[in-house]
Structure 1
Amino acid sequence: MTQKLALITGASRGLGAALAEALAPTHHIVAVARTTGALEELDDRIKVAGGSATLAPMDITVPEAMATLCRGIHDRWGQLDLWLHSAIHAAPLSPASSVAVKDWTKSIAVNATAPSVLIPYIAPLLGQHGRAVFFDDPRAGEKFFGAYGASKAAQIALARSWQAETVKTGPQVKILSPQPMPTAIRARFFPGEDRSPLTDIHSEAARLLPEILAED
């Protein structure tokens, strides 16, 4: 395959889906998410626009599934040009004194542990010249955002360490900060919010794309 290859974890909806569509003209998309139906809808949109995708309905918190995914990428394509990690778990807002154990456990599993498993699997596929991109949402320390804020901060801290470690060796690691968008996750955090000032996900994907593809 001469076309570049982009892996998107969390590709079924929101920014991940918008970025998949934005990249499809130049990349074959490997789209990972748990929701098969949403992935199929994404695939339809990509095909209508003339692109192509491989759907991987998987749970990123299952290490064996992620190992299978990465081995499959290696066996079929041999390498990976781009990894965008937009998968996230948004636990219900709660005072720190009332965070449910199940919400804390799932937040850590999806937002922190899963990336720590994926990075060692994906780094060899990216090699020296590939690129990994994470998306920051700095909620750590905000009231009621205990589980989400702490687990997301852990993810970004891990990504920053990987970024510092690979400056000379590659792959290139980027951490970007999207504008507020009218996603389902944001609606869960801010019900009743006036969504008109928020940035459309496709407009935000178009804004972020040059940063994602730029050589630092």
Structure 2
Amino acid sequence: MTKTALITGASRGLGAALAEALAPTHHIIAVAKTTGALEELDDRITAKGGSATLAPMDITNADAMATLCRGIFDRWNGLDLWCHTAIHAAPLAPADHIDSKDFSKSVTGNITATSTLITYISPLLGQSGHAVFFEDPQAGTKFFGSYGATKAAQIALAKSWQAETANTGPKVSILSPPPMPTATRARFYPGEDRTGLTTPAKAAADILAQL
């Protein structure tokens, strides 16, 4: 039976690279807001002989995610792997100038949605599945208030889940990918020399080797 991998945040960057790297061994369920980018990912996966189910939706829409998870259960009876790469990267700003709307989006996208997804996806993973989260330790770094605080909270949720399921499953991994030339990083470090950064494809290969 073909294994299944759910990638949240699959349209670009590390998420897309993981989807492509997993496609030879897994049916990919790709979630992202950008339909066009998902279709391009599907073309690349298909060209390599793989298969994907595209789910163009916002992870902050709890009803949509519940419907997706129900569909996964009905079609595949569960999941083998979940890689959560979706993130809301709020603009950099001093802590005393953080825009309230940006902060609210960060909380909703990085904390609330992650908590909801864990609730929905844990039963699909069961005892033998594997969930993977990705650290980006910017908490306390100047100008990273919104992103750093909410990303740290997301990882705190993952660490609690990891501790709670250590003896029962599913397995929960929290990994630290290297700096990559992604669109998110470009927003944080405009003008950076990107030649020395690790490509998402290389980072994905290294991550899967760890798993």
> Under a length normalisation based on structure 1, what TM-score does the superposition of the two structures give?
0.97
Question: Secondary structure at the residue paired with 1:174?
Answer: strand
Match of 1:128 in 2: 127
Match of 2:38 in 1: 39
- CA offsets 1:45-89 (integer angstroms, 9 cap, x no match): 000011000000010001101100100000111010000000001
Match of 1:86 in 2: 85
Using the alignment, how far apart are the partners of 1:128 and 1:200 within structure 2? Answer: 33
Match of 1:183 in 2: 182
Match of 1:48 in 2: 47
Question: Secondary structure at the residue paired with 2:192?
Answer: coil
Task: For residue 105 of structure 1, report the CA deviation from its aligned partner.
Answer: 0.4
- Matched pairs, number: 211
Q: How does 1:67-146 map to 2 (within 5 A)?
A: 67-146=66-145
Q: Which amino acid aligns with 1:209?
A: L
Question: Secondary structure at the residue paired with 2:197?
Answer: coil
Question: Secondary structure at the residue paired with 1:6?
Answer: strand
- For structure 2, the 5+ residue unaligned runs are none
- For structure 1, the 5+ residue unaligned runs are none
Using the alignment, how far apart are the partners of 1:93 and 1:40 within structure 2? Answer: 30
Match of 2:171 in 1: 172
Task: For residue 211 of structure 1, report the CA deviation from its aligned partner.
Answer: 1.4
Using the alignment, how far apart are the partners of 2:99 and 2:116 within structure 1? Answer: 24
Q: Calculate percent identity across the aligned residue pairs.
A: 72
Question: Secondary structure at the residue paired with 1:89?
Answer: coil
Using the alignment, how far apart are the partners of 2:155 and 2:102 within structure 1? Answer: 19
Using the alignment, how far apart are the partners of 1:41 and 1:111 within structure 2? Answer: 25
Using the alignment, how far apart are the partners of 1:11 and 1:211 within structure 2? Answer: 20
Task: For residue 131 of structure 1, report the CA deviation from its aligned partner.
Answer: 0.2
Q: Which amino acid aligns with 1:92?
A: P
Question: Secondary structure at the residue paired with 2:105?
Answer: helix
Using the alignment, how far apart are the partners of 1:82 and 1:206 within structure 2? Answer: 15
> Under a length normalisation based on structure 2, what TM-score does the superposition of the two structures give?
0.99
Question: Secondary structure at the residue paired with 2:4?
Answer: strand
Q: Which runs of 4+ in 1 moved over 6 A?
A: none
